[in-house]
Amino acid sequence: MKIAVASGKGGTGKTTIATSLVLSLANVTPAPLFLDCDVEAPNAHLFLRPTFERRQEVGILIPRVDESKCTYCGKCAQVCQYHAIAVLGKKTLVFAQLCHGCGSCTLVCPERAISEVPDVMGVLEAGPARAGITFARGLLNIGEPMAVPVIRQLKKWIAPEPNQIVILDAPPGTSCPVVESVRGADFLLLVTEPTPFGLHDLRLAAQIARELKIPAGVVVNRDGIGDARVDAFCAAERLPILLRVPFDRALAEGIARGQTLVDIRPEYGARFRQIVAQIAHREVVR
């Protein structure tokens, strides 16, 4: 079973909830798999403290032009939707950072002058973490624009064992990196805060759940700091609120130091296990 934790708004507590969720399941057999899909700014390692034993560079295939065969016909540039290959005078240039690795230019070149070479964009890392959890993450290289290929390859790189629960920590936002992270999940846990920013972005995140047809539930973090509009929204949308974590300065301070919610308040462990059981038995879907 794959549970993805997402939010829309950044800073609502996705990583706090996701890491606590996986730690609550540590005594399950097989021990759960945690995927940190926030490849731009991953944080889960700070709380789960993995030892990385496997590492792999990742990237996409980009075109390389054999100038001896190139006739500067410009067909490659015509088909490229990303302006990543261009014919300027008597040179054909490839702009690696714009390339999406689709292979189209390579296929259309009438002279077969284009071959493909790997372009490294980031790295995948995996290893055992606290409490026997298997941990894997991706890290996008600084200056690289595209997170999606790294996330896509992270999810392919680590195959879950049969019956292994997978917890995916998604990045903030609602666009393609989030979609790539949560696609294929059995359930989407949306973490929000009871403020106008939290509500605004929860609406968007809930739409992703609908578009991808993934059942969803809500965790209200920092409950008590704002107002009741998030509750009203969830009721109107029939989005179950599965957990409320009241705002607590002591919690904030512990998390600031690198402790998870279940480290500071172990009683939440039982609550997380209950939520997973509800999800597994489809009791949550309304």
Partner 1 sequence: MKQLVILSGKGGTGKTSVAAAFAHLADADSLRAVLADADVDAANLELVLSPRVIEEHDFVGGSVAVIDPDLCNNCDTCIQVCRFDAISLSHHVDPIACDGCAACVYQCPTNAIRMEPQIAGRWFRSETRYGPLFHAALRPAQENSGKLVTLVKQQARLRALDENYPLVIVDGPPGIGCPVISAVSGADLALIVTEPTVAGIHDLERALQTTAHFRVPSFVCINKADVYPDGAAQIEAHCREHAIEIVGQIPFDPMVTEAMVNGAPVTAYRADAPASRALRAVWERVRARLENGQ
Partner 2 sequence: MKILITTVAPNLESEVDPRFGRGAYFLIVDPATLEWHAHPNPGVNASGGAGIQAAQFVVEQKVDAVISGDFGPNAFDALNAANIAMYLFGATRTVREAIERFQAGTLERVGAATPQRHV
**Residues of this chain that bind partner 1 (CB under 8 A):** 8-12, 15, 38, 40-41, 43, 46-47, 79, 81-82, 100-104, 107-108, 140, 142-147, 171-179, 183, 195-197, 200-201, 204-205, 207-208, 211-212, 225-227, 249, 252-253, 255-258
Q: How far is the CB of 162 from partner 1 (least distance, A)?
A: 23
Among 51, 53, 68, 88, binds partner 2 (CB under 8 A): 88
Integer Cα distance of 14 and 219 in angstroms? 9
Integer Cα distance of 227 and 199 in angstroms? 10
Q: How far is the CB of 98 from partner 2 (least distance, A)?
A: 5
Answer whether 75's CB lies under 8 Å from 111's CB.
no
Integer Cα distance of 110 and 11 in angstroms? 50
| Closer of 108 and 212 to partner 2 (Cβ) | 108
Enumerate the β-bridge partners of residue 245: 221
Q: Which two tokens stand for residue 83?
A: 């302006």
Answer whether 200's CB lies under 8 Å from 28's CB.
no
Q: Which run of H or E residues covers position 94? A: strand 91-94
Q: Which two tokens stand for residue 145?
A: 């624009």
DSSP string, 78-109: HH-TTS-EEEETTEEEE-GGG-----HHHHH-
Q: Which two tokens stand for residue 245?
A: 């974590």
Q: How far is the CB of 83 from partner 2 (least distance, A)?
A: 3
Cα 202 to Cα 44, 135, 143, 174, 213: the distances in Å are: 22, 27, 29, 10, 16
Among 41, 46, 93, 107, binds partner 2 (CB under 8 A): 93
- The contacts of residue 75 (CB under 8 Å, 6+ apart) are 105, 108, 109, 110
Neighbour-count burial of 249, counting CB atoms closer than 10 A to its CB (0-12 exposed, 13-18 middle, 19+ buried): exposed
88's contact among partner 2, partner 1, none, with CB below 5 to 8 A by partner kind, is partner 2
Among 95, 120, 224, 252, binds partner 2 (CB under 8 A): 95
Answer whether 186's CB lies under 8 Å from 5's CB.
no
Q: Is 156 in the site for partner 2 (CB under 8 A)?
A: no
- Per CB under 8 A, contacts with partner 2 among 192-221 are none
77's contact among partner 1, partner 2, none, with CB below 5 to 8 A by partner kind, is partner 2
Integer Cα distance of 127 and 54 in angstroms? 6
Q: Is 84 in the site for partner 2 (CB under 8 A)?
A: yes
Q: How far is the CB of 109 from partner 1 (least distance, A)?
A: 11
Integer Cα distance of 205 and 133 in angstroms? 28
Q: Is 108 in the site for partner 2 (CB under 8 A)?
A: no
Per-residue interface string for the shown chain with partner 2, residues 43-82, x marking contact by CB under 8 A = ----------------------------------x----x
Q: How far is the CB of 73 from partner 2 (least distance, A)?
A: 15
Among 49, 91, 156, 210, binds partner 2 (CB under 8 A): 91
| Closer of 26 and 98 to partner 2 (Cβ) | 98
Interface residue list for partner 2 (CB under 8 A): 77, 82-84, 86, 88-89, 91, 93, 95, 97-98, 143, 145
